[in-house]
Amino acid sequence: MLVLALESSCDETAAAIVRGEPGEPADILASEVASQAEIHRQYGGVVPEVASRNHSLHLRPLVEQATRRAGVGLRDVDLFAATSGPGLASSLLIGATAAKALAVAAGRPFLAINHLEGHLFSPFVDRGRIPPHLALIVSGGHTLLLDVAGASDYRKLGTTRDDAAGEAFDKVAKMLGLPYPGGPEIEKTAAGGRPDAFDFPRSMLRDPGLDFSFSGLKTAVLYTLTDRNPEDGTPLPDDLPDLCASFQQAVIDVLVAKSLRAAKRAGRDTLALSGGVSLNRALREAFAGACRDAGLELLTADPSLCGDNAAMIAFAALLRAHRGHRSALDADIHPNLPLVP
């Protein structure tokens, strides 16, 4: 089956063409992404109207580029798919509407895909089959622990009660005067700092539940800045690397500890890590060491599949299509669509 998928949930426009058979590794024939990071950097964050306008500009050239790279025509595609949520409503509408139009023009079915399911399955694109495992999705808008029994069988174990991990990275980066997107900037600056320089809180680490909270950590950084520089609350130049390293370590400690606790409770011996924040090298190294010590197999997505991309959406669509799923052409977008109720 040949799938063309579109992703436009936030500020990345993406198109991908993927071929796959049930239980077999998927073949990514093309995966194109147009980033808007430079555009939104001047605003310090994503502006929905600007994002949707640029999705409209980028989408057609990306589809044409994907079909050229894959060496296929739109009539060769068996299924068209698009992210239907969660995300920004004005952005989701662009990709979903375009995919439906392509499906109608080609006389092929359409499938709406949950963005988080794309992330969930991204570590398995080159494996094809979804084995039982414990999953952590950690991205700009989501921090989610799932017990996964199979491709269509998963239950929520824990989620964030306030800021997601990626959101905390972006907000703390803004406090520190670092540009958007904040995650990569904090990681880069943290490389020259000491992770034990500041004793930031590990929120809810002793709580027996599996939920997360990062708002207290964000507030602790703010108070530290005020204490260190009462005049204007900006970071002292010598403090910046240590602040980044200490903040990053606090987030990592919580994510690792809660994930290993969840894997033990669920009785899983495999842990899959996905989402944009999973690109953080210190986070990957911490998970690798902790899983090795705990006797767990760690699976991570290829870096090209960690951020927002359409290849993961196409793979999720393949899995659903093989189980007979299709979506109506009048299916609406769902900006607050949960992965698990």
Q: Going from the first residue of the chain to its last (341 residues), give the mean pLDDT of each consecutive group of 10, the final group possibly shorter.
A: 97 97 94 94 92 96 98 97 97 98 97 97 95 96 96 94 94 95 96 97 92 95 96 93 98 98 98 97 98 98 96 97 96 93 73
* Residue 263, helix vs strand vs coil: helix
- pTM higher than 0.85 for the full model? yes
Tokens matching residue 178 = 């670092």
Which tens digits make up the pLDDT trace of 204-221? 998 899 999 999 999 999
Q: Which fold has domain 2-124+305-322?
A: Nucleotidyltransferase; domain 5 (3.30.420)
Neighbours of 276 (CB within 10 A): 25
Smallest CA-to-CA distance from 214 within 140, 302, 295 is with 140
Q: Where are the domains of the chain?
A: 2-124+305-322, 133-301
Q: How many CB atoms lie within 10 A of CB 128?
A: 16
Residues 6 or more apart from 271 whose CB is under 8 A from it? 133, 134, 135, 136, 259, 260, 263, 287, 291, 296, 297, 298, 299
Q: Does this chain's domain 2-124+305-322 share its CATH topology with 133-301?
A: yes
Select 133-301's CATH number: 1.10.1040.10, 3.40.50.2300, 3.30.420.40, 3.40.50.720: 3.30.420.40
pLDDT at 341: 73
Residues 189-217 as b or e (16 or more Cβ within 10 Å = b): bbeebebeebebebbbeeeeebbbbbeeb
> What H or E segment, with its residue span, contains residue 89?
helix 89-106
Tell me the two tokens of residue 162.
């306030």
Closest CA to 33 of 309, 338, 231: 309
Q: Using one digit for the tens of pLDDT, what is the confidence trace for 233-249?
A: 999 999 999 999 999 99
Helix (H, G, I), strand (E, B) or coil at 202: coil
